[in-house]
Structure 1
């Protein structure tokens, strides 16, 4: 995106999509639509024989594109969410045809079989996004969505089962800025549970989040970013806990967790990440995603603190992160293009259902 006016920024921070026209909708779909059909380059998980690993398409006939499984899943989520939110999407027919070609009962059965044999595969990040995808199909009141969800349901139920047996049973959280981040997975799973009215899963996620994070205080924000981060561990945790607590309890928690937010080193958390400080292009692209994900966390936390002294501070920081992140997210470099548009859509449509639902 080019330079953003104050009016445009107000629309961006609203989390609503009614300002997004056909031209921008097509821009948001361009990279996900191309990437879900792009088998190579791809991240090879292991070599199990002298013949080498199976082709991605053989191993994962639905989610083989986008370099890795989780990126393919959230790119499918991004395209389906666009079909739900944007009337008369300019490439709706192409999106539908592309997804239809892969989302078949036979292909989904093979995806389920892979998880039967590899229960830790994509734990927890890919699981979280798969449940976001299922929730999106649940929200979209259309025959096409119902058909896709019926086909995907065996994989959805397999992931729910793995979440319950292999993730919510962990004895400690992982506080990192990458795929293993426990708080991000928990808030995605919680959003799914609330969207589809899975009360038992919701109760279990809230219990795990409380056990993991309720006693946290004085988070050392000066340590961020930790490495190849595309999530802020501190803000992602706070974004989870605003879903768990009511406002008074969240105020008490966040004031302990992030005290003296405007004093050093707290100010470092409020500043966008310098994406040009590292010569490694892939790390720089992770930092572009980090600025976008920090923007959605900051805006969401601010929304949960109306009238609190932190709210305007967080809103101003969200604006600066949005300006920086959106100006760099639409790269044609595949290391970024195969996933960044999904993050942009998550941020821009964070108040359109499926994300932090009431």
Structure 2
């Protein structure tokens, strides 16, 4: 066993502890009434409320702990979700694509963890709205923050797998293929470091290309490998959104490490994730700046690590 593999095993033994701590935060915040939305009214905004509920489901799926089930069920009541679906149908650009992608993540997690079909029809409408956005369109792979297409397409890809929708898988692969040439014009490291983004733009483009089958992992690593291996964790966040960037880099690097077998990427993923976990004020501190959303990013990174080690 390599040193990195041993380190990963140690991380996995600690991961349920971290997942429990992370879940405590959205468990409080999803119940707040920060907005007038019928179901997703906590966590300051709609998308953060969505991924807050997702995080509770993810925690249940990873640990078997059902303590948050009553909270989840109270928010995912059919009457509330029908009202949310009607609202999104009436406002086709609302939360497009970012929040809608998170809703797909929530729906696929609910299906995976509970076996419920309560979100099926709402999720189909959301998936249709996203596929119509990305089908046969020119897409900017470096669109930033909430407009980032790679995050939306990755969620569509995972949703398609859970729902056995090869038609959606094909749409994602085609959209990703149209972005493959962007590997020739990656933003400079200095440029990307200067952005206030919470999403890891270059790593997630690489993840999408590889996982969708739009590009071979070797070709992606030839173009972007040096950039990816040079990434260093943020140790002094300069902007509010930087408090989650280590987590989003970490989860993308985990996917790429799995696909490529590159221990350097695995070590970097752990460096990024642990940097944030060991600074709890970065994810359970100020409500407006961090605690309404950053723990959910941490949960996604933890989930990816645990599922890569022992898929469920």
TM band (smaller chain): 0.7 to 0.9
Decide which moves more: 295-304 or 266-275: 266-275
1:209-243 deviations in Å (ceiling 9; x for gaps): 11122453252332113432111211110111120
Over 3 Å counting, the alpha-carbon distance change for 1:271 and 1:86 in structure 2 is same
After TM superposition, give the deviation of residue 317 of structure 1 in Å.
2.2
After TM superposition, give the deviation of residue 168 of structure 1 in Å.
3.1
The question of whether the paired residues in 2 share the 8 Å contact of 1:193 and 1:201 is answered with: yes
The question of whether the paired residues in 2 share the 8 Å contact of 1:191 and 1:354 is answered with: no
1:312-352 deviations in Å (ceiling 9; x for gaps): 33233223212322222433211211111111111112155
Question: Does 2:50 match 1:73?
Answer: yes
Match of 1:53 in 2: none
Match of 2:198 in 1: 230
Over 3 Å counting, the alpha-carbon distance change for 1:352 and 1:174 in structure 2 is same
Distance 2:228 2:100 in 1: 33
Distance 1:207 1:70 in 2: 26
1:167-221 deviations in Å (ceiling 9; x for gaps): 4343222514411111111111111111221111111111111112245325233
Question: Does 2:74 match 1:106?
Answer: no
How is 1:49-68 mapped onto 2 (pairs within 5 angstroms)? 56-57=35-36, 60-68=37-45
Structure number with higher helix proportion: 2
Instruction: Give the secondary structure class of the aligned counterpart of 2:284.
Output: coil
Distance 2:214 2:140 in 1: 22
Match of 2:269 in 1: 318
TM-score, L = length of structure 2: 0.87
Distance 2:50 2:200 in 1: 22
Distance 1:132 1:73 in 2: 9
Structure 2, unmatched stretches of 5+, are none
Q: Given the alignment, which residue of 135, 138, 152 partners 2:108?
A: 135
How is 1:10-21 mapped onto 2 (pairs within 5 angstroms)? 10-11=8-9, 19-21=14-16
Over 3 Å counting, the alpha-carbon distance change for 1:102 and 1:138 in structure 2 is closer
Q: RMSD over aligned Cα, in angstroms?
A: 2.8
Distance 2:298 2:10 in 1: 10
The question of whether the paired residues in 1 share the 8 Å contact of 2:22 and 2:299 is answered with: yes
How is 1:1-358 mapped onto 2 (pairs within 5 angstroms)? 9-11=7-9, 19-21=14-16, 24-40=18-34, 56-57=35-36, 60-87=37-64, 89=65, 92-93=66-67, 95-140=68-113, 142=114, 145-146=115-116, 149-150=117-118, 152-214=119-181, 216-222=183-189, 223-245=191-213, 249-256=216-223, 258=224, 261=226, 266=227, 269-276=230-237, 278=238, 283=239, 285-306=240-261, 311-328=262-279, 329-334=282-287, 335-351=289-305
Distance 1:166 1:155 in 2: 17
The question of whether the paired residues in 2 share the 8 Å contact of 1:136 and 1:354 is answered with: no
Structure 1, unmatched stretches of 5+, are 1-5, 41-55
The question of whether the paired residues in 1 share the 8 Å contact of 2:177 and 2:214 is answered with: no
Answer with 1 or 2: which has the greater Rg.
Answer: 1
> How many residues in Structure 1 have an aligned counterpart in Structure 2?
304
Over 3 Å counting, the alpha-carbon distance change for 1:267 and 1:139 in structure 2 is closer
TM-score, L = length of structure 1: 0.76
1:131-182 deviations in Å (ceiling 9; x for gaps): 1111112212x4xx41xx32x2232121012112234343222514411111
The question of whether the paired residues in 1 share the 8 Å contact of 2:210 and 2:220 is answered with: no
